[in-house]
Structure 1
Amino acid sequence: MGFLNCYVLFLTVLVVFNISLLCGADPTDGFTEVPLTAANFEIQRPYNVPLEERYSFENGVRRLWVFADDKPHNPSSHTQPRTEVRFHGLDYSSGVWQFEGYGFVPNGTTGPSIVQIHGAAHDPSTIILRIYDGDMRYYSGDLIATNMYDKWFRVNLIHDVDGGKVTVFLDGVQKFETNDRGLAQFYFKCGVYAALSDISYYMESRWRDIKIYKK
């Protein structure tokens, strides 16, 4: 290999290296994608309405909506109204797992959980990402991001069960980290699940390119 070719190769490697430093690591690096089928997407909705009145799946986009006075997802439940994807058959209790999806929340939707990890030692959930007036919060508390309305955003939610940590990335940037809430049987959910208070009458979120990873 001549001097000129070596020099060109050196510059190429240097450019690639610098680009990788500027861009940073992707949250999915080191993870293995879990194959998903239609059977993994269990839709929970108000028990007294047909599926098509609270959910649609067209052109790769899942649209989920609910009203504040809707019934819960089954007659014996006393929980708040929801239309959610519950990732069936993907429960876990160890290892490191990750949810990835592109979400969209229309202006006016306030008060719903749009992503959550269900399960905890002494609570129903380990983490909830909730939208209030366009801001994303950890449950109803810590502010994670602002100005979330009317745009697509990438969500990566990583749960290190053995390390007891949950990390939130938005558009590839780490935004939040917290301890989980103890060992349990866990699974991911996304959609709209109304909080107990401070909610809009109509709540909606949309999702595309959903993936589950583990390592």
Structure 2
Amino acid sequence: MRSSNIFVILSLFLLLVSIENIVRVYGEDPTYGFTSIPLTEANFVVQKPYNIPVEQRYSFIDGVHRFWVYAHDKPYSPGSPTQPRTEIRIKGLDYHSSVWQFEGYGYVPKGTSGATIAQIHGSGDGGATTLILRIYNRDMRYYDTDLVAENLYDKWFRVNIIHDVDGGIVSVFSDGENKFQTKDHGPGDLYFKCGVYAAPAHISNYMESSLCAYWKKLKLCEDGYDRVEKSQKWSSSKSSLMEPKMEFIKIIVNGVCIVTVNIISIPKYLI
């Protein structure tokens, strides 16, 4: 009987190790199952203060996009009531349906606060945006409310934004971890942007130091799950592939509960 107990425990250990390895690979890559769309310079439209040359607020060196702007800068066009910005608008890949994803690696220097670093522009409810990710005092927030990620100053961090238009859900991943999810504002003429865009209020005094951010390895992806199995298309509102179904089981030997574990339902094409 003792050897039988040891066998059960060993089998459980191997099962948990296998599941952990699958989840580790699965959880760290939000782009899994999506089709990567190549981006060229033609897809990058730089929006900057209208009265100065682009090179005074933007650079692209060794694969790194650098954006900076000052609180006293002009808007991107004469007569615009918007705040100063230096951003890339991803052009030619606007979307209205399906599931789309933006991925990039951001870097925000200490001292930058009140800066929108990424957004989904467009909305179905008459607003200007569906999502804004903004840096306030080293932390990233959804607009100026919900906390998304902490302590981001002076380091590279990976950002993945997944917009399930049909399901009406937006998810934000930071360094591969699903940090935030919210309902969208309905379908519309939608596209992604990144860079720096001054918030309407509570921004730092940038007369001497710039509102600055860096982005690299920008990528855009479209849902590709229907190429694998249509019935398992990614949807945050259902049993999502990004959030596998959790089930609780108990391992009992001789009437004694040894351990309670979480088993994750892995899509069958991953097994």
- TM-score norm. by structure 1 comes to 0.91
For 1:99 and 1:187, the matched residues in 2 are separated by: 10
For 1:151 and 1:23, the matched residues in 2 are separated by: 23
Q: What is the match of residue 61 of structure 1?
A: 64
Q: Tell me which of 106, 111, 117 is aligned to 1:108.
A: 111
For 2:151 and 2:108, the matched residues in 1 are separated by: 10
Q: What is the match of residue 31 of structure 1?
A: 34
For 1:152 and 1:18, the matched residues in 2 are separated by: 26
Q: What is the match of residue 94 of structure 1?
A: 97
Aligned alpha-carbon RMSD (Å): 1.6
Runs of 5+ consecutive residues of structure 1 not aligned to the other structure? 1-13
Query: Which amino acid is the alignment partner of residue 213 of structure 2?
Result: S
Answer yes or no: is 1:19 the counterpart of 2:21. Answer: yes
Q: How many residues matched?
A: 204
For 1:17 and 1:167, the matched residues in 2 are separated by: 24
Q: What is the match of residue 134 of structure 2?
A: 130
For 2:74 and 2:19, the matched residues in 1 are separated by: 54
Q: What is the match of residue 208 of structure 1?
A: 216
Query: Which amino acid is the alignment partner of residue 157 of structure 1?
Result: I
For 1:135 and 1:71, the matched residues in 2 are separated by: 26
Runs of 5+ consecutive residues of structure 2 not aligned to the other structure? 1-15, 224-271
Residue 24 of structure 1: how far off its partner (Å): 3.4
Cα gap change, 1:15/1:141 in structure 2, threshold over 3 Å: closer, same or farther? Answer: closer
Residue 76 of structure 1: how far off its partner (Å): 2.9
Q: What is the match of residue 240 of structure 2?
A: none
For 2:72 and 2:46, the matched residues in 1 are separated by: 19
Answer yes or no: is 1:41 the counterpart of 2:44. Answer: yes
Structure number with larger C-alpha Rg: 2
Once the two structures are superposed, the pairs formed by residues 74-89 of structure 1 within 5 Å of their partners are 74-89=77-92
Which stretch of structure 1 is more off in the superposition, 21-30 or 201-210?
Answer: 21-30
Q: What is the match of residue 51 of structure 1?
A: 54
Alpha carbons 2:88, 2:195 under 8 Å: kept: yes
Sequence identity (%): 59
Query: Which amino acid is the alignment partner of residue 174 of structure 1?
Result: N
Residue 161 of structure 1: how far off its partner (Å): 0.3
User: Relative contact order: is structure 1 or structure 2 higher (C-alpha 8 Å, sep ≥ 6)?
Assistant: 1
- TM-score norm. by structure 2 comes to 0.73
For 2:164 and 2:75, the matched residues in 1 are separated by: 31
Residue 21 of structure 1: how far off its partner (Å): 2.5
For 1:17 and 1:33, the matched residues in 2 are separated by: 27
Q: What is the match of residue 197 of structure 1?
A: 201
Alpha carbons 2:121, 2:192 under 8 Å: kept: yes
- The SS at the match of 1:24 is helix
Residue 22 of structure 1: how far off its partner (Å): 3.4
